[in-house]
Structure 1
Amino acid sequence: MNIPQEKQDNVTIESSNDITPNSSEWENIVTDGDAGPLSVDGSELSKQRKNRRNSSSSSAQQLKWPPPSGSLHAQYRRAAVATDHGLCSEIGRDIMMEGGNAVDAMIASFLCIGVINPQSSGLGGGFFMTIYNTSTQRCQTIDAREVAPIKSNSVMYQRDHRESIIGYRSIAVPGELHGYWSAFTKFGSSRISWKRIFEPAIKLAREGFPVSSNLAMVLQQKESDINEDEDMRRVFVDKKTGRVYEEGDMMKRERLAELLVELSDSQNPVELFYKGGIAQTLAAEIRDNGGYITVEDFEQYESVLHEAPLESELLSEELVMCGPPPPSSFAITQSIIGIMAHLTGHVPDHGTSHVVAIDHEGNAVSATSSINQLLGSKRMSPTLGIIWNDSMDDFSSPNLTNAFGFSPSPENFILPKKRPMSSMSPTVIYNKNSGKVKMAIGASGGSRIISAIAQTVIRALLFNQTVKDSVDAPRFHNQFIPHVTYVK
């Protein structure tokens, strides 16, 4: 993640790059020279370990501790924001320097990410947010997860599973804007206007921004999918070259800028987006392209405020860890950390898009937003420039495995208006005696979010490593189905 360079009392933010990187940066635990990842089960792993011990070249196969990353390790006296992009971190910082709080900064940062990191999140997706108020010592969460359309059912993808991954039939009802408005009206500072929060993202969308290396990589990887959709081509293909934009090229998102202006000017953007003319336009576009979402789906959408989220004591009676209940995966992350916290006999002496913000009052926000897979459904609203999610694939379907390798679970089968399970686990850890935040953490990266957060928290709080060292350290991931262990 990136944090703004300007230093502002008493807040320590140690930030590093995303703790769940692209899948290309992960390898199976057993590798073979320069060959691609191997699929490894337990018995195969044992045999290959034995072979390596007997091999004269075994030293070349050993995993080595990585060198320190070039990411920042800094202290900020008053406040800080960490996001997936430096520009968006600076926008969040600026909002807080103008008197805004962590929630104001989070919304502004996410709007920015939705413009310049469209492969990861945006108004076409949804999010989970954990908010901690240091004065009341209270955690609350917002579930703005997408929901299944009213017309959906558990066997809708049996004929063609690809429909859950790409195209208009893969779209679930988005909750992003509804969640922003709920967060702003319930937890915003009231010192920063709704319109002001939108201004930086509008400027970037109108005037353009340089394509990052990560976005350029995704565009190249998904070029064939982009060329299947006229509206995606219009935004992501350089007219001069006929190819997708490359790193450093300037990109604009003018139709999205118009939508952001309309939403920023509205006295009730939720009414406009979910019940007004925008909802009718979007529903018509989806219907005309074979999708399932209707005006009624938009009208009935509600983000959910959890006044009493999941909380548990961590390591000692002083620290409390809090986060959203299902369908987020915070409960799993919480369980892993809780188990590992008791394994203290041999402690070693070494070491989707996410926004974390801590403001000058000590309030913390940890929020994860997603459109599911890279570029979501690979479809864009022709009139409003929204990239739609493909979050219907986060549900289970009988006898089908989803894009993240999860086997079907009846508890996650599709039902109308149901929220799919998610790996997102935005977490805040605070000291219940002092009321101060100890750690705010989250990640992007699909199913690897859970293991990445758990291992980073364990290293930082159990092994007393710095956050930077905890993030830089190698990590393992095995979700059991498929039974393959990866190392990063």
Structure 2
Amino acid sequence: MVYKKFLYAGAIVSLILGLSACTTATKAGTGAYVQETETWKPFDENGEMIRTDRNAIGEVGVVSTSKYEASKIGRDILKQGGNAIDAAVAAGFALGVAEPNSSGLGGGGFMVIRSAKTGETIFIDFRERAPKNSTPEMWKVGEDGKVVGNQKVEGGKAAGIPGEVAGLLYALEKYGTMSREQVIRPAVNLAKNGFTVTPTLSGDMKNQFDRLEKYPETAKVFLNEEGLPYETGDKFVNKDMAKTLEIIIKKGKDGFYKGEVAKAIVNTMNKYDGVFTMEDLANYKPIIKKPVVGNYRGYEIISSPSPSSGGAIVVEILNILENFNVGELKVNSPEYLHLFSEAYKMAYADRAKYMGDSDYVPVPMNGFVSKKYAKEVAKDIDLKKSKDGIAHDPWMYESEDTTHYSIADKEGNMVSVTKTVNGLFGNSVVADGYGFVLNNEMDDFVTGVGHPNSIEPGKAPLSSMSPTVVLKDGKPFMVLGSPGATKIISTVSQVISRVVDHGMGMQEAIDTPRLYDNTANKIGLETRIPEETIKKLEEMGHTVVKTSDWDRGMGSVQGVLYKADGTLEGGADPRRDGKALGY
């Protein structure tokens, strides 16, 4: 999918750059929007992404999200006396406005909450679920085993029943202190007044232009007046989204899952061959589960259970690494990268074979987090030679285009949220008149029957999302997570290890070049890793795939670290638009 050559891009960018010194928001002659100078942005005067100034220190609390606008809204909630959960709900709704390419009202996700008052840790599953009329036979499959056409990734049959609104409102009602009006109103204002388009959002609009243009309901929201993608620096306004949020403020969960919004979702999805019913939406409820709990060198790791594979496999990887002196290895040395690569192969092989929604299929969760099991697995690692690939991972269908945010306050409330519409702009179809795309989460199921991840009505597709809380001696230490599809697991485990084993701060651990490997036995490396290191890995038997200096596909970690001096350090990932703000 290629945007139509960007013929007018140069003129608009030049105009933006020429006016970048303005101190108030103004409309340029071509419709370019100039951002106020006091507002932080992730790109410079040349429209290039900056890789610095992403972190923040806070005394009362820190909000780290993938968009400055959402972080600011979350921080403002803390300033008004809200707790971390209030801030998380406000930031979540704001992200749906400012980052529609990755998440929103038509999606779903997972949330881990650590309550300072009780010390309890809660996991909220608001993942999208299969409609009641969906079946493994809902797509036509060719002789090659692949779905004929594109119905698995776009249109009505690609969408699952969205859970974001139910999940965020549940968290607010059970653990927040503020009203819907207080936490959602800032997102309404953001949608009405607009925000500045970043290189990330503009690039995603161009990347998905063919699909955005294909659906009239979508084109009128996500393309400009000329029917083209927005450019970096343009102002993006979504009044239909503001209208939807106003309904949610007034009517709560029922305002989304019943009535006019629900009817629009059902009618639009079924217009494009979907199988939605009003009953599907009315019956949606978030599920409260016990999180996965592990221990790494005395630090308690609390993360996501099934239907996410993330938490258990992160714990398994860390358990394997615990059998080696990781702290004595230089970060990103050949020996370090080799060890992580081998641990990833072992853990991802288990993920491929056993993982599914444990409400529908047996999943050996106790085995995944077992220290004894990890010790046996570690015995198979040769520290001098790469092993061949174990098996092909069938769970490679997930999109990298998710979002994560982390919030923590001085009282010890911690919130870690990973949420998504799956692919860029989800299934590409906007609920007509309401300003948000639906997800394409059905693509995360495998085709056919008899597999742990086969479709069943009401079932959630497997995920890698790994929102994680880390405690030390029962006290808050770190909260983090990342988007990145199957790379979420490797990314989160790397950042945890770098903080625990090498004493890195939050931002340093996020900035450090990353690796990725799975059962395919191809180690992916960011190109900031030296050539001599790559050569040594190849001599050890690795097939090395060089990506880029700052590879967006390696995830986008937002995290908060409780420091020894009592302050909180927020880190945000320069691989995308992330920014932490402290208070």
Q: Same fold (TM over 0.5)?
A: yes
> How far 1:89 moved relative to its partner?
0.4
Structure 1 residues 295 and 74: CA distance shift in structure 2, 3 A: closer
* Structure 1 segment 229-240 matched on structure 2, within 5 A: 229-239=215-225
> Any idea what SS the aligned residue of 1:80 has?
strand
> Any idea what SS the aligned residue of 1:313 has?
strand
Task: Tell me if the contact between 2:326 and 2:501 (Cα under 8 Å) persists in the aligned partners.
Answer: no
Equivalents in 1 of 2:319, 2:450: separation in Å? 25
Which range moved further: 361-370 or 205-214?
205-214
Q: In the alignment, is residue 272 of structure 1 matched against residue 272 of structure 2?
A: no
Task: Tell me if the contact between 1:348 and 1:463 (Cα under 8 Å) persists in the aligned partners.
Answer: no
Equivalents in 2 of 1:203, 1:164: separation in Å? 34
Q: In the alignment, is residue 297 of structure 1 matched against residue 283 of structure 2?
A: no
Who is 2:307 aligned against? 327
> How far 1:227 moved relative to its partner?
1.0
Task: Tell me if the contact between 2:155 and 2:427 (Cα under 8 Å) persists in the aligned partners.
Answer: yes
Task: Tell me if the contact between 1:341 and 1:462 (Cα under 8 Å) persists in the aligned partners.
Answer: no
Who is 1:224 aligned against? 210
Who is 1:484 aligned against? 522
Equivalents in 1 of 2:505, 2:79: separation in Å? 27
Alignment: residue pair count: 403
Who is 2:171 aligned against? 183
Who is 2:199 aligned against? 213
> Any idea what SS the aligned residue of 1:485 has?
strand
Q: In the alignment, is residue 174 of structure 1 matched against residue 159 of structure 2?
A: no
Measured on the aligned residues, the alpha-carbon RMSD in Å equals 2.0
Structure 1 residues 144 and 447: CA distance shift in structure 2, 3 A: same
Who is 2:245 aligned against? 260
Structure 1 residues 458 and 345: CA distance shift in structure 2, 3 A: closer
Aligned match for 1:413, one of 454, 472, 483: 454
Equivalents in 2 of 1:323, 1:303: separation in Å? 17
Q: In the alignment, is residue 454 of structure 1 matched against residue 435 of structure 2?
A: no
Equivalents in 1 of 2:237, 2:194: separation in Å? 4
Task: Tell me if the contact between 2:130 and 2:458 (Cα under 8 Å) persists in the aligned partners.
Answer: yes
Task: Tell me if the contact between 1:320 and 1:430 (Cα under 8 Å) persists in the aligned partners.
Answer: yes
Equivalents in 2 of 1:426, 1:161: separation in Å? 34
> Any idea what SS the aligned residue of 1:412 has?
coil
> How far 1:457 moved relative to its partner?
0.6
Superposed CA deviations along residues 223-263 of structure 1, whole A, max 9, x for unmatched, are 11111011221122221x44211011111111111110111
Equivalents in 2 of 1:412, 1:446: separation in Å? 16
> How far 1:135 moved relative to its partner?
3.3
Aligned match for 1:92, one of 66, 70, 74: 74
> How far 1:122 moved relative to its partner?
0.2
Equivalents in 2 of 1:460, 1:90: separation in Å? 26
> How far 1:483 moved relative to its partner?
4.2
> Any idea what SS the aligned residue of 2:415 has?
strand
Task: Tell me if the contact between 1:134 and 1:436 (Cα under 8 Å) persists in the aligned partners.
Answer: no
* Structure 1 segment 26-175 matched on structure 2, within 5 A: 69-159=51-141, 160=148, 162-175=150-163
Superposed CA deviations along residues 421-471 of structure 1, whole A, max 9, x for unmatched, are 11100000012x3x4211101001111111100111111112222222221
Structure 1 residues 243 and 272: CA distance shift in structure 2, 3 A: closer
Structure 1 residues 69 and 386: CA distance shift in structure 2, 3 A: closer
Q: In the alignment, is residue 372 of structure 1 matched against residue 406 of structure 2?
A: no
> Any idea what SS the aligned residue of 1:423 has?
coil
| Structure 1 segments unaligned to the other structure (5+ residues) | 1-16, 18-24, 26-67, 399-407
Who is 2:477 aligned against? 438
Who is 2:574 aligned against? none
Structure 1 residues 131 and 412: CA distance shift in structure 2, 3 A: same
Who is 1:9 aligned against? none
Superposed CA deviations along residues 89-127 of structure 1, whole A, max 9, x for unmatched, are 010000011111111111111111111110000000001
Who is 1:195 aligned against? 181
Q: What letter is aligned with 1:476? A: L
Which range moved further: 286-295 or 436-445?
286-295
Who is 1:250 aligned against? 235
> Any idea what SS the aligned residue of 1:163 has?
coil
Superposed CA deviations along residues 391-436 of structure 1, whole A, max 9, x for unmatched, are 00011113xxxxxxxxx981000111000111100000012x3x42
> How far 1:348 moved relative to its partner?
2.3
Equivalents in 1 of 2:162, 2:227: separation in Å? 31
Structure 1 residues 483 and 225: CA distance shift in structure 2, 3 A: farther
> Any idea what SS the aligned residue of 1:260 has?
helix
Who is 2:269 aligned against? 286
Q: What letter is aligned with 2:156? A: Y
Who is 1:341 aligned against? 322
> How far 1:75 moved relative to its partner?
2.7
Who is 1:11 aligned against? none
Off by >6 Å, runs of 4+ in structure 1: none
Task: Tell me if the contact between 1:476 and 1:485 (Cα under 8 Å) persists in the aligned partners.
Answer: yes
> How far 1:350 moved relative to its partner?
4.7
Task: Tell me if the contact between 2:70 and 2:95 (Cα under 8 Å) persists in the aligned partners.
Answer: yes
Q: What letter is aligned with 1:152? A: S
Equivalents in 2 of 1:242, 1:287: separation in Å? 25
Equivalents in 2 of 1:345, 1:295: separation in Å? 53
> Any idea what SS the aligned residue of 1:437 has?
strand
